[in-house]
Structure 1
């Protein structure tokens, strides 16, 4: 499911969090996992602070 979460639109993600179907932490972890998977190829981020995102 993590791969699916990282591909949601912002509105879809908001609706799932609001409905209690997914937690904000699950959503954040899914997005961080996607960044980790593709960042070496795309170089879209200068710096990723996963620990701050999860606070």
Structure 2
């Protein structure tokens, strides 16, 4: 029972790490993938703090 718990715990930790790293890489790829439509949206979003109310 103890070995099963240790195996499942290490699998969950490793799987969780891989899942979050993969998710991070997907988000970075999405942001930096060249696309004219998204570039306009990202530039517009970047200027939101500079707008006057």
Q: Same fold (TM over 0.5)?
A: no
Question: If you compute each CA radius of gyration, which structure gives the higher value, 1 or 2?
Answer: 2
Which structure's relative contact order is higher, taking Cα pairs within 8 Å and 6+ residues apart?
1
Q: TM-score, normalised by structure 2?
A: 0.34
Q: TM-score, normalised by structure 1?
A: 0.33
Larger helix share, 1 or 2: 2
